[in-house]
Amino acid sequence: MSLGERRKKEKDNRKHAILKAARKLFFEKGFKSVTVDNIAVGAELSKGSIYLYFDSKEEIYVQILITENNDFHKRMINSLQKEASASELLLDFARIYIDFFLYERELFRIFMAFMIRDNQMTLTEEQNNSLLRITNDNIQIIAEIIRKGVDSGEFSSGINIRQEQNAIWGLLNGIITLYLFTAAPAERANRIHAIVKDSLRIFIKGLKENQNQPGFGSSFNCQNNQLTQTG
């Protein structure tokens, strides 16, 4: 290994250590409570070393969110390759989405904080756009599944795909929000999965039956509609 390759590997290892330590701290204590000093201690680096790789705590936070959402996107792309009906794919999307957040509640909390702009952090335009882009990529997977259902004749041709994707996105996040932080831990997973499955089945029935009418989900709204404006 050349000197340049060794230095690059060392830099990558340090950056990975920073992100790993920050992820653990953010999910345990919440974004507001964590400082760059805390992250430096967790990564076993000096505070100055942190700033060699990241300009701020916000930048570290954004990188973690982007990485987590990229991982989810890869899982969903793989799931789409399965031979299954659009209805089955929607239920599968919901199951994976719930499991993605179920055991990392703080990840869901900070993701929702970004979506509703609760001002607990100040992001640059580039950071904001990066998060919007990867979020849109995940929302677009719902649209692709619905479009597959329309093309195959499984779903009605008159539905508004944008409205329905927003409705499903809102349904998932709403139910997760309702029970992720309130239900007893022992029953949390089963309750969320059961309610989402029942709700989606009603939704899917509407997608199949409401020819040339707004779908069941058109009464819902994505909590932050600008998330889908780039699609």
50 and 122 share a domain?
no
pLDDT at 210: 59
pLDDT at 103: 76
Q: Which of 54, 70, 97 is the last residue of a domain?
A: 54
43 and 70 share a domain?
no
Highest mean pLDDT: which of 3-7, 41-45, 136-140? 41-45
111 and 145 share a domain?
yes
Percent of the chain whose predicted confidence (pLDDT) is above 90: 41
Q: Count up the domains in the chain and report the number.
A: 2
**How remote is the C-alpha of 225 from its chain's centroid?**
15
Return the exposure string of 96-119: e unless at least 16 CB atoms fall within 10 Å of the residue's CB, then b.
ebbebbeeeebbbbbbbbbbeeee
84 and 38 share a domain?
no
Q: What is the pLDDT of residues 59-95, one digit of tens each?
A: 898 888 888 888 888 888 887 888 899 999 999 999 9
Higher pLDDT, 138 or 5: 138
pLDDT at 152: 93
36 and 64 share a domain?
no
173 and 140 share a domain?
yes
134 and 21 share a domain?
no
Q: What is the pLDDT of residues 183-226, one digit of tens each?
A: 677 788 899 999 999 999 999 999 998 544 444 444 333 334 44
156 and 61 share a domain?
yes
49 and 60 share a domain?
no
Angle at 18 between CA 14 and CA 24, to 5 degrees: 145
pTM over 0.95: no
Put residue 7 in one of left, alpha, beta given phi > 0 → left and psi -120 to 50 → alpha. Answer: alpha
pLDDT at 118: 54
Contacts of 66 (CB under 8 A, 6+ apart): 130, 131, 134
Q: Which of 54, 72, 92 is the last residue of a domain?
A: 54
68 and 162 share a domain?
yes
CATH number at residue 87: 1.10.357.10
CATH number at residue 42: 1.10.10.60
pLDDT at 66: 84
77 and 160 share a domain?
yes
**How remote is the C-alpha of 114 from its chain's centroid?**
11
Domain range holding 11? 1-54
pLDDT at 215: 40
Tell me the C-alpha distance between 66 and 48, whole Å: 24
Return the exposure string of 11-34: e unless at least 16 CB atoms fall within 10 Å of the residue's CB, then b.
eeebbebbbebbbebbbeeebeeb
Tell me the C-alpha distance between 172 and 196, whole Å: 7
pLDDT category at 175 given cuts 50, 70, 90 is very high
Q: Compute the average pLDDT of residues 137-151.
A: 93
Put residue 221 in one of left, alpha, beta given phi > 0 → left and psi -120 to 50 → alpha. Answer: beta
129 and 201 share a domain?
yes
pLDDT at residue 113 is higher than 80: no
Q: Which of 22, 38, 54 is the last residue of a domain?
A: 54
